[in-house]
Amino acid sequence: MWSFLHRLSSPPTFYRWSGVITPIFAVIAAALLLVGTVWGLAFTPTDYQQGDSFRIIYVHVPAAMLSLSVYMAMAFSAAIFLIWRIKLADVFAASFAPVGAAFTLLALVTGSIWGRPTWGTWWEWDARLTSELILLFLYLGVMALRSSLPERNQAARAAALLAIVGVVNVPIIHFSVEWWNSLHQGSTVSKLGRPAIDPSMATPLYLMIFGFMFFWLANAFSRARVEIVDREQNKRWVREALGDKAEMQRRAGEK
Amino acid sequence: MSPKQQTRLVFVVALVIGVSLAAFLVFKALGQNMMYFYQPSQVAAGEAPTDQRFRVGGLVVPGSVSRSKDTLAVDFDVTDNVGTTTVRFNGILPDLFREGQGIIAHGKLKGDVFEADKVLAKHDENYMPPEIADALKKSNDGVMPFGDGKGMARKVMTNEVQPK
Amino acid sequence: MQEFLQMGGYAGYVWSAYAITAVVLIATALWPGIRRRRLHAALRKRWQWERSE
């Protein structure tokens, strides 16, 4: 079991299997996002209160949900790297940050666009909105910290530390609508029992959520692959993987 | 200073700025949320300040909305089902503003009337097509079981301080 | 069609939200490919140079 995990976490092994799985995930993501968008825009009824403006839900809710999931995954990878010094975990943490930042930005911008016609304001210094803005700053801070320190190991440790400290913000975002008198309504999706969204409107929302998930994995894997080649560029396996002819010949000669 | 020390300095300064910015935003958000929120019954009982801006939240009383003919001015009553406050607003109301809806008004008390410079509408987490909303309403004696701001009443009236 | 584009009067809000989402996602998706091409080209060049030494 442990040796299996150990092998799985070695960069060349990851490079090999991710090369197969990443394009598959990318295709799944593109298909889900395309179908979900067309379905959500054209084939769902209008909302009884908000009319057509509710359709922003299909981009806003997936982006907001995944902005939190990606952060948790990033902090988890950072913790694994700090404790066990597994290189691949740091590669993952570095690859998750830009995707998470993009999702957070989207959640904020689409939320603002949605808030104007429904609530009557682009922005309120409200608990939910402010804590999500802090999440964006955390992502940007983690990325800036990594690139501002010249020594890679030191940069990785500093970024990991900030990512872990920032985890306190995640439950604050999630429960802000219950703890404070927020303008933002409660969660539509995570409600158990009676779903808060009519079945005729729900399917494209689920498609979009899964589409964002596959987008995240495909995007983070392709980032991780580039990062690994960059870090291990002087190793033999990289030369072989990139099809360097001289290396192949040398290897053939050795045999 | 060596380049290494310089980057360390940049790192420390960036961290300090980042953390203070985050703290500032948190306190700004908390401050806005903790302070100045009054329920219509508290305003009616004279508990609200007369020299300070604050917020009033409640449900728009059906039939109380009266719009001016030639300006954007609008008067309406908000209630927490205990007391009622009249709100005067001169501006564009959000699309979700309607009778029975939960709203939050920002402004100042002038006599008995709350003069608002901002009116925000709250809505809940329920989404459904109009026909289903109608059916739901019909099966519940013509009253929406949630939505229409009714389900929001508890949340709009906030801070769990239910008047006795 | 006209009706669909107008989005019940919310055209500006709905379409801009989707357009921004598309732009941000496409930019995020393209970035690793650009970086990969640059890196691989640089590495191949270096290996070739090493061989000609």
Q: How far apart are CA C16 and CA C11, in angstroms?
A: 8
Looking at the fold, whether B25 and B56 belong to one and the same domain comes out as no
- What does pLDDT average to in each consecutive run of 10 residues of chain B (164 residues)? 69 69 71 67 84 86 86 88 89 85 88 89 81 75 52 41 31
C41: contact with A, CB 8 A cutoff = no
Residues of A in contact with B129 (CB under 8 A): 45-48, 198, 200-201
Looking at the fold, whether B67 and B50 belong to one and the same domain comes out as yes
Enumerate neighbours of A (3 or more CB pairs within 8 A). Answer: B, C
**Measured distance between the N- and C-terminal CA atoms of chain A, rounded to whole angstroms:** 32
Residues of chain A numbered 80-99 and touching chain B (CB < 8 Å)? none
Nearest residue of A to residue C40, measured between CA atoms: A242
Return the SS3 of C31. helix
Question: Does residue A158 surpass a pLDDT of 60?
Answer: yes
What does chain B come to in residues? 164
Contacts of B80 (CB under 8 A, 6+ apart): B39, B40, B41, B58, B59, B153, B156, B157, B163
Q: How many CB atoms lie within 10 A of CB B111?
A: 8
Nearest residue of A to residue B4, measured between CA atoms: A150
- Tell me the average pLDDT across A135-160: 92
Query: What CATH number corresponds to the domain at position A118?
Result: 1.20.120
Q: Does the predicted interface ipTM exceed a cut of 0.90? A: yes
Enumerate neighbours of C (3 or more CB pairs within 8 A). Answer: A
Residues of A in contact with C29 (CB under 8 A): 26, 215, 219
> Considering the domain boundaries, does residue A10 fall inside one?
no
Residues of C in contact with A230 (CB under 8 A): 39
Domain total in chain B = 2
Query: What CATH number corresponds to the domain at position B76?
Result: 2.40.50.140
Asked if A219 and C29 touch (Cβ cutoff 8 Å), the reply is: yes
What's the pLDDT at A21? 96
A190: contact with B, CB 8 A cutoff = no
> Considering the domain boundaries, does residue B164 fall inside one?
no
Domain, as residue range, for B8: 1-34
> Considering the domain boundaries, does residue A119 fall inside one?
yes
Q: How far apart are CA B16 and CA C41, in angstroms?
A: 39
Tens of each residue's pLDDT in chain C, 53 residues: 788 888 888 989 999 999 999 999 999 999 999 999 999 999 989 888 887 77
Q: How far apart are CA A108 and CA A124, in angstroms?
A: 12
Residues of A in contact with B13 (CB under 8 A): none
Asked if C10 and A53 touch (Cβ cutoff 8 Å), the reply is: yes
Asked if A124 and A72 touch (Cβ cutoff 8 Å), the reply is: no
- Residue among C17, C39, C40 whose CB faces A56 most closely: C17
Q: Nearest-CA neighbor of B108 among B121, B89, B91?
A: B89
Q: Nearest-CA neighbor of A93 among A45, A1, A158?
A: A158
What's the pLDDT at B150? 40
> Considering the domain boundaries, does residue A97 fall inside one?
yes
DSSP at A193: S
C44: contact with A, CB 8 A cutoff = yes
Q: Nearest-CA neighbor of B126 among A173, A127, A57?
A: A57
* Strand partners of residue B84: B79
Looking at the fold, whether B2 and B52 belong to one and the same domain comes out as no
Residues of B in contact with A183 (CB under 8 A): 104, 120, 122
Looking at the fold, whether B89 and B142 belong to one and the same domain comes out as yes
Q: How far is CA A249 from CA A22, A105, A243, C33, C51, in A?
A: 29, 48, 11, 28, 12
Q: How many CB atoms lie within 10 A of CB A211?
A: 25
Domain residue spans of chain C: 2-52
Residues of B in contact with A130 (CB under 8 A): 25-26, 28-29
Q: What is the pLDDT of residues C26-39, one digit of tens each?
A: 999 999 999 999 99
Looking at the fold, whether B61 and B77 belong to one and the same domain comes out as yes
Domain total in chain A = 1
Residue A49: is it exposed, middle or buried by C-beta count within 10 angstroms (0-12/13-18/19+)? buried
A16: contact with C, CB 8 A cutoff = no
Angle between helices A57-84 and A87-118 (to 10 degrees): 160
Return the SS3 of C18. helix
Nearest residue of A to residue B22, measured between CA atoms: A134
Q: How far is CA A129 from CA A184, A185, C12, in A?
A: 8, 11, 22
Q: What is the pLDDT of residues A16-35, one digit of tens each?
A: 999 999 999 999 999 999 99
Cβ of A185 within 8 Å of Cβ of B124? The answer is: yes
